[in-house]
Amino acid sequence: MNSGCASHYFGRRSGRKYHRYPKVSAVVDVKSHLLLGAVIDRGPKPDDVEFERLARQAHRRQPYDALLGDAGYDGEDHHAFLWGQFAVLGIIPPVRGRPPKDPEHIPRGFFRSFIAAHWPKELYGQRWQAETHFSMFKRLLSDDVRSRLRHNIDREIFLRLVTLNLMILLFLSIPAMF
């Protein structure tokens, strides 16, 4: 998210100091593109800090069988959390960190090595649906935040996320006009 409508180039040129930007981490249903859980924080920072909170929010709203995530959420503790709490398989590429020199390298940990050995390519291929949600969000509702105070920025982003969910629900409920 952009915390202002001025470009990064303009900020550098005018001598503005760097400041943290709003960052949204989310869980999206791949079939309907509905947002199931979101955490609004400040970046830059690692993605996996909000993992457990996001997984709990999403599972409370709609139980799931598998959770697809990008490599930023890779970690044996995350896989163990998903399996221990919800009996859910985490489909997260086990490639976080420095790439191994050996191409046949098997990651450490039970869950990470299992995922590496049995990589569900077709299932993980649906992760782009979450990126589609963010694309719709930015295209339809803009990624520029007008508020200046942290609380108001969080509120504005949250209201936009809810608005997009309502727009999707409205679209799904209207029969095809063609």
Q: Is residue 160 part of a domain?
A: yes
Confidence of residue 27 (pLDDT cuts 50, 70, 90): very high
Q: Is residue 77 part of a domain?
A: yes
> What's the total number of domains in the chain?
1
pTM across the whole model: 0.82
Per-residue HEC secondary structure of 67-121 comes to EECCHHHCCHHHHHHHHHHHCCEEECCCCCCCCCCCCCCCCCCHHHHHHHHCCCH
49: containing domain: 8-165
Q: Is residue 170 part of a domain?
A: no
Can you tell me the distance from the alpha carbon of 83 to that of 130, in angstroms, rounded to the nearest whole number? 22
Q: Is residue 141 part of a domain?
A: yes
Q: What is the pLDDT of residue 15?
A: 74
Q: Is the pLDDT of residue 2 over 90?
A: no
Q: Is the pLDDT of residue 9 over 90?
A: no
| Cis, peptide link before residue 63, omega less than 30° from 0 | no
pLDDT digits (tens, 9 = 90+) for 32-64: 999 999 999 998 888 889 999 999 999 999 999
Q: Is the pLDDT of residue 3 over 80?
A: no
Q: Is residue 174 part of a domain?
A: no
Highest mean pLDDT, choosing among 2-6, 15-19, 34-38, 113-117: 34-38
Q: Is residue 105 part of a domain?
A: yes
Q: Is residue 2 part of a domain?
A: no
Q: What is the pLDDT of residue 177?
A: 54
Q: What is the DSSP letter of 41?
A: E
Which string of DSSP letters, residue by residue, matches 150-176? Answer: HHHHHHHHHHHHHHHHHHHHHHHHSPP
Q: Please check whether residue 40 is in contact with residue 22, taking contact to mean a CB–CB distance below 8 angstroms.
A: yes
Q: At what angle are helices 110-117 and 76-86 packed, to 10 degrees?
A: 90
Q: Please check whether residue 55 is in contact with residue 82, taking contact to mean a CB–CB distance below 8 angstroms.
A: yes
Can you tell me the distance from the alpha carbon of 133 to that of 126, in angstroms, rounded to the nearest whole number? 12
pLDDT digits (tens, 9 = 90+) for 122-175: 999 888 888 899 999 999 998 888 888 889 999 999 999 999 999 999 988 877
Q: Is residue 106 part of a domain?
A: yes
Token readout for 95 is 């490639």
pLDDT digits (tens, 9 = 90+) for 75-130: 999 999 999 999 999 999 988 777 777 777 788 899 999 998 999 989 998 888 88
Can you tell me the distance from the alpha carbon of 174 to that of 112, in angstroms, rounded to the nearest whole number? 42
